[in-house]
Structure 1
Amino acid sequence: MLKLFTLLVAAGIASPALANDTLAEIKTGGLIFAQSDDVRMAEEDLFISASEVRVDYVFENSSDKDVESLVAFPMPDISGQVDNNSAISDYDSDNFLHFSTQQDGRPITAKLQQRVVSLGIDVTDEFAKQGIPVLPYSQKTTEALAKLPETVRKDWIARGLVYPMGAGDAEIDLVPLWTLRSTYWWRTTFPAKKKVSVAHRYKPAVGGTVAISFLEGGEPKGERFEEYSRKYCLDGDFVRVAQQRAREAETGGANYTESWISYVLSTGANWAGPIKRFQLTIDKGKPGSLISFCGSNVQKIGPTTFRMTAVDFDPSKDLDILILNPPETAQ
């Protein structure tokens, strides 16, 4: 059973957060492999921080024959919306997480598949026909939408692919409402009776708010507090420090801010058996930050880093990390 792990560091001030000062985190995870009963994951070394995710795998083919496999890295969906609050910062790049991968130390050039979906319907071919880029928030997409023929424009508005902004005689801009689904993939071979190392790196899309948001009137209550307690395994000490900082904020001090990082651990379990050796390292970034997440046997190994190790690890739930960042003057 997963047990609570929290780190408390005194410093900073908290107050309720506002919804329009929120960036939604985007869940990402590891590589997904085609089903195989012969290839097992001997090791997984996972490092997570607000600036980088690093994953190093060691796979072992226990059979007497080579195993060919398809490997995929699903990028998080990008959904267009009128009020964009996504944490993605690079909207003009297909590789908006700056994903890269290696096998046995050699860089891999992955292929990219992109599909455009609206209301559950694949409309990728229509975008190709009209010459519309598929990235919802890129500048090129905005410029191309402005040149859509009037008949197509009306049709896409009626079908919910875009939303018209403006009224009366004002110029109407089209806001994307479609969802882009992207996956990097490649083929690989696991040689018989040998180990293969696979590594990948990317920049996570970190969400957050401008202040602590899980206290209601300075008290640990309400639906949001219950959600945080389940999601991040908040304990009494963590909550008491947050309350103390909230009271200090009433004297005019600066706020703590929240950062949220999510990692999908539960997908991709297509290897033979559990992960033989699993290691998770999390870096909270600043010595004065507070951190809370669900884990077991977690140890502090540095001023900002914490490590969890497990043998025969079978991930059953995803990992969610809450970091409370102190004001600049108290780091």
Structure 2
Amino acid sequence: MIRLTSTLATALAVAALLAAAPAPANDTVASMGAGGLVLEKTDGITMLSEDLYLSRDEVRVTYRFLNHTDEAIETIVAFPMPDIEPDWMGSVNGPTPDPMRTLPFITRIDGYSVPTQVEQKAMLDGVDVTRRLQRLGLPLIPYFDSLEGPVSELSEAQIAKLVADGLMESNVHDDGSRSSFGLWTLKTTHYWTQTFYPGEEVRIEHLYVPVVGGTTATGVSRPGDHWPEYDSKYCIDEPVRAAVARRQADGLQMRDSWLDYTLVTGANWSGPIGDFRLVVDKGSEDNVVSFCAEGVRRISPTQFEVRHANFTPTRDLNVLIVQGDRYE
């Protein structure tokens, strides 16, 4: 069942009452400035189409580009991943991977695999703290499960300084163990140099495993301070809450997962996206999913589709999955 509601932008929003799915980003043109990659707008290259598939286990996206000028254009193409925000929780897909080393990210140009470079920055209140963390031997992912081991190698004075400077929260428990998580945001961008020849289409594909944030229990079916944010970010309405409540009444343990996809950089190309297609794969029928979009239709027992012609994205895609777990 799909229910249409209104969004803050007065557009239609869709809350799909099923599923699971993941997310991350959109190709854009960039330049390499002194502070790293700078995303820019180009007037010479058109995005003919974008075909995006989101699931809990993988993200697949295929673009078709056309250089509509009379000259070849060589530029840096950047694929910004969603920010990894401060949180006690790690990825609900399992141990949080390091995007620099273990996070699979495959890029193909016209069917051929090409290597990409990666820029990562740890940002705190607009300040780049990457080098400071690296000097201390700390990973750039701010999650507890990534920091637990490295923080144990620091001195008490170093930990106290990080806490005092607002970089980290750290607590010592009664048994002497310590829990810490970072307060910075990790920004990751994959990029490479691409030549677009005049009048020729270029097909670019990305495939990767998403990092999925979440909670151990859902906040959808109980009142709380975060409901207003949930409502506007994921377009949650009463049918969504009712769907979660029904599953809980049937004995399912419900927990939240958050999936984000950086969509607005698709507006950096010349003109709108000619043909935009999104497929969200719901996974288990025990799950509930809610996200803001227009024109959602169900195309299979597990998948929902959104299609737009001449599409200019105005907001990023945020997906809330309320996952239902059955325990014997």
TM bucket normalised to smaller: 0.7 to 0.9
The match for 1:303 is: 301
In the TM superposition, residue 52 of structure 1 has moved relative to its aligned partner by 1.1
Give TM-score scaled by structure 2 length: 0.75
Amino acid paired to 1:75: M
Alignment partners' CA distance in 1, 2:216 and 2:65: 42
Alignment counterpart, residue 111 of structure 2, candidates 96, 105, 108: 105
Structure 1 range deviating more: 192-201 or 262-271: 262-271
Task: Determine if the alignment matches structure 1 residue 262 to structure 2 residue 260.
Answer: yes
Structure 1 range deviating more: 97-106 or 153-162: 153-162
In the TM superposition, residue 86 of structure 1 has moved relative to its aligned partner by 5.0
Amino acid paired to 1:3: L
In the TM superposition, residue 163 of structure 1 has moved relative to its aligned partner by 5.1
1:183-205 CA distance string (max 9 Å, x none): 22211111111100011112222
Alignment counterpart, residue 33 of structure 1, candidates 29, 33, 57: 29
Alignment counterpart, residue 197 of structure 1, candidates 200, 203, 214: 203
1:56-107 CA distance string (max 9 Å, x none): 00001001101111112223444566x3455474445324542221111111
The match for 2:310 is: 312
Change (3 A) 1:97 1:147: closer
Change (3 A) 1:36 1:147: same
1:32-55 CA distance string (max 9 Å, x none): 223211101000001111111111
Report if aligned partners of 2:28, 2:269 keep a CA contact under 8 Å in 1: no
Alignment partners' CA distance in 2, 1:167 and 1:8: 40
Report if aligned partners of 2:243, 2:288 keep a CA contact under 8 Å in 1: no
Change (3 A) 1:233 1:122: closer
| Structure 2, gaps ≥5 residues long | 1-9, 31-40
Higher relative strand content: 2
The match for 2:188 is: 182
Aligned ranges 1:242-261 → 2 under 5 Å: 242-245=244-247, 248=249, 253-261=251-259
Report if aligned partners of 1:282, 1:306 keep a CA contact under 8 Å in 2: yes
The match for 1:215 is: 221
Report if aligned partners of 2:213, 2:257 keep a CA contact under 8 Å in 1: yes
Structure 1 range deviating more: 196-205 or 314-323: 314-323
Task: Determine if the alignment matches structure 1 residue 72 to structure 2 residue 78.
Answer: yes
Change (3 A) 1:87 1:241: closer
Structure 1 range deviating more: 224-233 or 257-266: 224-233
1:99-143 CA distance string (max 9 Å, x none): 221111111211122334445433444455555554556999766
Change (3 A) 1:131 1:318: closer
Amino acid paired to 2:28: I
Rg larger in 1 or in 2? 1
User: Matched residue pairs, number?
Assistant: 306
Alignment counterpart, residue 278 of structure 1, candidates 276, 279, 285: 276
Alignment counterpart, residue 14 of structure 2, candidates 5, 8, 31: 5
Report if aligned partners of 1:26, 1:207 keep a CA contact under 8 Å in 2: no
Report if aligned partners of 1:26, 1:87 keep a CA contact under 8 Å in 2: no
In the TM superposition, residue 166 of structure 1 has moved relative to its aligned partner by 3.7
Structure 1 range deviating more: 296-305 or 193-202: 296-305
Aligned ranges 1:29-68 → 2 under 5 Å: 29-34=25-30, 35-68=41-74
Alignment partners' CA distance in 1, 2:146 and 2:215: 29
In the TM superposition, residue 2 of structure 1 has moved relative to its aligned partner by 4.0
